Chain A
Amino acid sequence: MTQLVWNGLFVGSFYALVALGYSMVYGIIKLLNFAHGDLYMLGAFVGFAILGAVGGVSSSMALPLLLVVLLATMVLTGLAGVALERVAYRPLRRAPRLSLLITAVGASFALEYGMRAAAGADPRVYPVRLGGTSVEVLGARLTLQQLVLVGVAVVLMIGLNLLITRTREGRAMRAIALDPRTSSLMGIDVNAVISRTFFIGSALAGAAGVMAGAYYGKIDFLMGFLIGLKAFTAAVIGGIGNIPGTMLGGLLLGLLESFGTFWLGGEWRDVFAFGVLILFLTVRPTGLLGERVTERV
């Protein structure tokens, strides 16, 4: 039981990290960035490339090294997200929603198969593997590395929440979410803020990618597809556009999956998750913490 809860929280913290980027971008420019899951994949591969360039390390140094790589990857993936926004989304900001969605699908495709052309179709094995000793807490087996990864995720999420609620930058983001035109009249550089939003969201996805690579040990060019869907589900459960809600949604989805797998068997896990998504959209499309928004005509 405790084991199921722990597994759920662990997986859920990955979902939450990826879902945050989704949710932020959606909250500010109302764009579903389909390529977000692929930025997670990109993060995993960037981390892989950096680790490969650094060369072998002793296992005692694995964790600190991984944290450094994590930071570098976050910066690079963040920049990739900014470039993506600049090239693919900004020219279409005033276009119909359908065009933007199709562009996002195209971006996702280009990232996935661009990576496939660059790195090959076969899964790569991560050079650093976090296994390690396990400790028993309340009947659940958990490893030190799992704890560190969850810790990193929590720190990133708290930092993001502070950024959005306490800083000038965050205030600008919230203003644009309310009304981009008026924000621009009030002297906010809308394009720059949106770029920085993409940077932060993509950096978080990249961090999740490196952590997933180091934990599961294998990465491939399609790894972002499913997690993108799951992250969207998490964001919807919590209330898309709402940061604390999204974190809650990620953890909740992890727990639901963990218990769903236990009851129904692993092969039904994804069906269960999407079933939850459809159920939530039917019953409470605004999510647990989302406010009811009226669509502007």
Chain B
Amino acid sequence: MTGTTKVRRVGNAKPPTRASKLLQNRWAGIAGLLIALLAPFVNASGYALSVMTSAAIFVMLAAGLNIVVGYCGLLDLGYVAFFAVGAYTSGVLSTRLDLPLLVTVPAVIVVTVIAGIIIGAPTLRLRSDYLAIVTLGFGEIIRITANNLDVTGGPSGIYGIPHLTDSPVVFYYVTVVVVSLAVLGAARLGRSRLGRAWRFVREDEDAAEAMGVHTYRVKLAAYIAGAVWGGLAGVLFAAQLSAISPTSFTFLQSALVLMAVVLGGMGSIPGVVIGAVVISILPEILRDLADYRFFIFGVLLIAVMILRPQGLWPARSKEVS
């Protein structure tokens, strides 16, 4: 958690150690933000800036998926679909109608909410594992549709999307600010009444239902929140690259975001942020291992689930266990 609540509840399973106190403290969040803000002073080459901007966008994706997978326990394997919906909505509107990118944001929110409802409404009543594979199918549907339609530019995609600003440094700062707000917003949501309901559903759906939580509505809310986060990340993505094509939105992307969430620690905001940064920057450092990269990721996913299912930086539950 980036901040601690004022009232510490009794009944924590383990008393917090000094190290964990430090990690859970809100200073961790501020330190992370400071690192992000100061990074361009260390290295402001075009390459470094683009890597860092991508990493920031990836953090936002992971924060959004964390709402669905981490808080609510719904496995979404087609999360990149919402990313694509956001990127394509703003791309199509800004190039066909000559709108500035900022103006497309309300439209993106509306469209991603609708997309979240379309895919969530029929499937959230089902078992969780059905949901996983339906979202996987949905991700493919979105990609193939973008590939086939004329309005989305077919396989070559959309190019000439206007930049938000001309300077990559300014855009990097804009991204960092937007992503920080998104991460903070996700953390706040997680601590809200709705967030508690999400965790209740994740821990025991039947018990939650018995206690009067409208589980279907709560799950749909998680799904829609995740969709909006993904869609807004898509706008940033479109603005960064100014060109989007279906190849950016494959299952591989969804799986990478999922890996960031799982490795970092499902439901833990600092864990997820670190996980996302590591997953997006590591490939740039380990260029030589490109062939084995995804193989290692896959093995790592199994190993984490078996050895440390709570992730590298787990969320500390404030509830009595």
Contact = CB atoms under 8 A, between A and B. Distances in A.
B309 A110 contact: no
Interface stretch (B38-46, B168-176, B299-307): B299-307
A88 B302 contact: yes
B250 to A, nearest CB: 10
B305 A106 contact: yes
B141 interface: yes
A95 interface: yes
B156 interface: no
Interface string B137-165: 11011001101100000000000000000
A109 B69 CA distance: 19
B71 to A, nearest CB: 12
A33 B258 CA distance: 17
Interface in B84-131: 119, 122-123, 126-130
Contacts of A229: 133, 136-137, 140
Contacts of A232: 133
A113 B138 contact: no
A30 B127 CA distance: 11
B123 A278 contact: yes
Contacts, number: 125
A281 B298 contact: no
Interface stretch (B21-29, B191-199, B220-228, B289-297): B289-297
Interface stretch (A142-150, A179-187, A193-201, A266-274): A266-274
A295 interface: yes
B299 A105 contact: no
A116 interface: yes
A117 interface: yes
Given A105-B255, A233-B137, A278-B122, A98 B73 contact: yes
B141 A113 contact: no
B144 A271 contact: yes
Contacts of A297: 206
B134 interface: yes
B126 A281 contact: yes
Interface centre among B123, B140, B300 (most CB of A within 10 A): B140
Interface in B271-321: 291-295, 297-302, 305-306, 309
